[in-house]
A and B are shown apart, each in its own frame.
Chain A
Amino acid sequence: GAVVSQHPSWVICKSGTSVKIECRSLDFQATTMFWYRQFPKQSLMLMATSNEGSKATYEQGVEKDKFLINHASLTLSTLTVTSAHPEDSSFYICSAMTGGGYEQYFGPGTRLTVT
């Protein structure tokens, strides 16, 4: 149980285009989802926290207009990287948590390469 999936697993896009990444909780309802990015050989940095039906809360330094997060249902959250640039190339990981839960379940990640 507690499986989180992400789609796509990897994506290559051209600079200036937008990319959408989906995060789904497959066998549980996720009231809260988190988006992280991980640079090569570095730790996970929290980008934002989203609660179903509410606006996402972004961490300091994360541009909310560039990284659009939508948590429209209890099983789906999306991250859209708008007007992507090469410096946005990274590994994006989502995680999900049930209401009142303490443990986060992580997706397999999406590797974004912007050329």
Chain B
Amino acid sequence: AQSVSQHNHHVILSEAASLELGCNYSYGGTVNLFWYVQYPGQHLQLLLKYFSGDPLVKGIKGFEAEFIKSKFSFNLRKPSVQWSDTAEYFCAVKSFSGGYNKLIFGAGTRLAVHP
């Protein structure tokens, strides 16, 4: 079955620490990859997306992600987190194999940044 896995369910960091959140997917063929953020009490916002081209994607607020096709991964990174990055982060994948074009979300990673 097609799936999206986020390895870390809950991450706690101090301000200025580096962040890496893992995301793996099980789709074959062409994929579009996304990272969304949901701040407490707010709706989903797009952090960054990968459609094609340079596998290193830069998004808003200093986030970046790297698509590694051979590993079916799209990990999210930020060199130095801030308290305001406290939120839930969702990896999502849209596959176009066999007409399957649904956006499927991972379970999410809850990030808490302590000042």
Q: Write the residues of chain A forming the contact surface with B, with a CB cutoff of 8 angstroms.
A: 34, 41-46, 49, 93, 95, 102-104, 106-109
Contact = CB atoms under 8 A, between A and B. Distances in A.
The B contact surface, by secondary structure, is strand
Contacts of A108: 42-43
B105 A43 contact: yes
Contacts of A102: 32, 51, 94
B104 interface: yes
8 contacts: A34-B102, A34-B103, A43-B107, A43-B108, A46-B103, A106-B43, A106-B45, A108-B43
Interface of B: 32, 34, 36, 42-46, 49, 51, 90, 94, 102-108, 110
A49 B99 CA distance: 13
A49 B90 CA distance: 20
B44 A93 contact: yes
